[in-house]
Structure 1
């Protein structure tokens, strides 16, 4: 949590870089806002700061109707931190508390429920139940304002245990009933789900902070796209990344558009989700956000890397370059061990499940489960290293979920036959979302890269991008 003086200066200047990093609560109005809220700046003695929306809500504040503080990017701190609190926040964002309760969260973290609650409350001002409740309310607001689903269905799809709990939470957080919240929605965009639809098609805006080098991200995803489960379609500057998702309650297709001028000015990516079960909305959104690295803080990355004599010119040339993560960590690891997108595509064609409802463009399958690849027959069609990693994922020897301990998981992966240091580092960078991974590049050594901590993953992407641009220039000449 930043100090109060820095926080108030950010509020006075309406600095959007701090949106999601902390929240501003005003005692005289009982409302909490994002730092960039366009409302009149409150007096300093009336302002309190909270590290999460859940903490502000637990203190009795309601969400601002003007700046919608629940729709900001997530705090980049939770992606950087590898301790208990960081791991817990990533799991809660993935919907673990909604699916498995606090007991399930604690079990995954390897701590008691009491320890998890105590540390979260001390660090972020709210326990796991309050954090999950805030996330459920955000999901409910999205469903109320972007679908025509009956309110009862919205309540359970958002993860609430009862309609009464849903109604009470919405009134407390938004100071409106669900019906009033729906009535306040803007005109529906294409893709609004009609009541009773068998599949939900939702059009969302996924916020990010600071500049976003979308062209580089879409290029990267195109190069690594696995046939059958991923594709990048469309002309340059109007491309769409599309992929299938295997989610806790069913399957989904996600489509993210390369941002146009309006989206770039507004700092969001347009996302279209086709879900077979609306209960997967929160999880699907978080997995797309991780894939596109939308919760990163480009200001912090630039401050460190931009001052480096080697990286400074590269950072200046590509502001907002991201380090793409993973929508499915197990899939990313297995594809990395397979060796190439084409080899991974062969696994998809042979062992993947057909996409429910039939092919959707070039998307035909869901990636095979770890259990399927571990027991694949005939065995000679699957590389032994792939089988070893799949077996480790299946029996829990290797964990790559959002709450996994990065050091422990990297060690378990490296111990498997056929898995080298480079592959381990790549999986750690993408599947585990580690922003501080160094991989040999042939340009710098590990000692030099030490000065780039804790953003060595971003430094790698700058070096790789510069190398590709040099190669392209040589080829063009």
Structure 2
């Protein structure tokens, strides 16, 4: 491993070249201006002596730097490292992103991880330069800015929807992070934001779900269309311009989301494709669920992946090289509801549709063909306790199998293997998608170690090329 000085020299070169591949991987701050930025910021490159580097936006904010208004560093995709890592830091970051600190506090986060609050604070601060409270605060600030600049929601409602405990805390944080009041932020919204500020709760909350590098949307939407369960999901429109819609069960209420396919031929090469976004609209019965809903969509569409790292490693393999060249930016989709995914991986689409019709909770306000929520594990365990389905749903309901963002992947796999009748292939599918593991090789397939740590992506390339079928 390179020493810290070399690492910082390399980071500075990334800043000098405005290399968007590193957006979200690290942040840099300029001591003479008091501002922090993403590496691809188009502003004049500062002198090396005036630059400091941070692992997270929260760490930069904690050191007194405010977000650049030009490059909006708080809006970059999350670092792929924290989604890929299976240790306590990676698990903690995923739980914080899901809103656990806002809902349950640091004690709740620590309890889910099986550590003391002090241990969690120490480990996060050592690696990220910020503890759980600071990380959650930075996330709340970003959510608030998006709502202020893209919706017509009242400021007071935005404060609580973003996870703040009071309007005063909200105002103080916005001033500290953006050096602006909420009203000033709204007035300074980009043109597209001003045009969209007429959005209201009835029209849904419009969002841009950012990703880094090329994003090959077609195969993701193909999979979602193939798997869509009537009543809770639908895919409409022609290939290249499809819209995926589904219902969501969330901590405070329910939601309906629509995400648009964004076509476009991926480009390759340094700086050729800095990234983009998927357009989404969220209808929530309780706006406090916004952060959680967004993170679940990001996991479903694999928006925090690092396609540069994935493609570089897999393209070194002679078998995969032509597949990667043909499909740069291919993703490994996850799920918006891990427990639902586990049940569906076992039952298949047709049986899942029956379960929805018979046991799914009807929405108070159906929206077109979206009429239900997928039934909760406890409901299924009580209604159909027999067989593998009953065993799996009982294990999910009583916590014997944990699939939440903070779950230990190895422990979850061991617990799944203990469910009577659950075969190894289904366990691998659940680990890949419900737990978001980028490095899963299913049983029965000879997969070289050189594909690590991206074997899940490698299998998606084989599947897309028709060289392997998961079932």
TM-score band by shorter chain is over 0.9
- Alignment of structure 1 residues 346-425 onto 2, 5 Å: 346-358=354-366, 360-376=367-383, 379=384, 384-425=387-428
Q: Distance in 1 between matches of 2:359 and 2:23?
A: 43
Is the alpha carbon distance of 1:46 and 1:207 closer, same or farther for their aligned partners in structure 2, counting shifts above 3 Å?
Answer: same
Give the Å deviation of 1:469: 10
Q: 1:473 aligns to what?
A: none
| Deviating more after overlay: 199-208 vs 110-119 | 199-208
| Deviating more after overlay: 123-132 vs 267-276 | 267-276
Give the Å deviation of 1:303: 1.4
Contact 2:151/2:196 (8 A) holds in 1? no
Give the Å deviation of 1:418: 1.4
Q: Secondary structure at the match of 1:235?
A: coil
Query: How many residues of Structure 1 are paired with residues of Structure 2 in the alignment?
Result: 457
Q: Secondary structure at the match of 2:207?
A: strand
Q: 1:433 aligns to what?
A: 436
Q: Deviations over 1:34-92 (max 9, x none)?
A: 00000001111111110000000001100000000000000000111000000000000
Counterpart pick for 2:158 among 149, 154, 158: 154
Contact 2:209/2:278 (8 A) holds in 1? yes
Give the Å deviation of 1:189: 4.4
TM-score by length of 1: 0.93
TM-score by length of 2: 0.94
Give the Å deviation of 1:191: 7.9
Match status 1:45 vs 2:49: yes
Give the Å deviation of 1:193: 3.4
Match status 1:193 vs 2:207: no
Give the Å deviation of 1:230: 1.2
Contact 2:91/2:406 (8 A) holds in 1? yes
Give the Å deviation of 1:192: 4.0
Q: Distance in 1 between matches of 2:195 and 2:250?
A: 25
Q: Distance in 2 between matches of 1:140 and 1:305?
A: 38
Give the Å deviation of 1:231: 1.3
Q: Deviations over 1:8-47 (max 9, x none)?
A: 1111111111100000100010000000000001111111
Match status 1:249 vs 2:252: yes
Contact 2:89/2:123 (8 A) holds in 1? yes
Q: Distance in 2 between matches of 1:101 and 1:440?
A: 39
Q: Secondary structure at the match of 1:55?
A: helix
Give the Å deviation of 1:157: 1.2
Q: Distance in 1 between matches of 2:54 and 2:136?
A: 16
Q: Distance in 1 between matches of 2:206 and 2:467?
A: 34
Contact 2:218/2:263 (8 A) holds in 1? no
Contact 1:88/1:105 (8 A) holds in 2? yes
Q: Secondary structure at the match of 1:357?
A: strand
Q: Distance in 2 between matches of 1:262 and 1:164?
A: 46
- Alignment of structure 1 residues 47-446 onto 2, 5 Å: 47-187=51-191, 188-189=194-195, 192-194=198-200, 197=201, 199=202, 201-261=204-264, 267-338=276-347, 340-358=348-366, 360-376=367-383, 379=384, 384-440=387-443, 444-445=445-446
Q: Distance in 1 between matches of 2:305 and 2:239?
A: 24
Q: Distance in 2 between matches of 1:469 and 1:417?
A: 27
Q: 1:25 aligns to what?
A: 29
Q: Secondary structure at the match of 1:267?
A: strand
Contact 1:192/1:201 (8 A) holds in 2? no
Is the alpha carbon distance of 1:348 and 1:105 closer, same or farther for their aligned partners in structure 2, counting shifts above 3 Å?
Answer: same
Q: Distance in 2 between matches of 1:78 and 1:129?
A: 17
Q: 2:460 aligns to what?
A: 461
**4+ aligned runs moved over 2 Å, structure 1:** 186-194, 260-266
Contact 1:247/1:284 (8 A) holds in 2? yes
Give the Å deviation of 1:383: 6.3
Q: Distance in 2 between matches of 1:468 and 1:223?
A: 18
Give the Å deviation of 1:262: 11
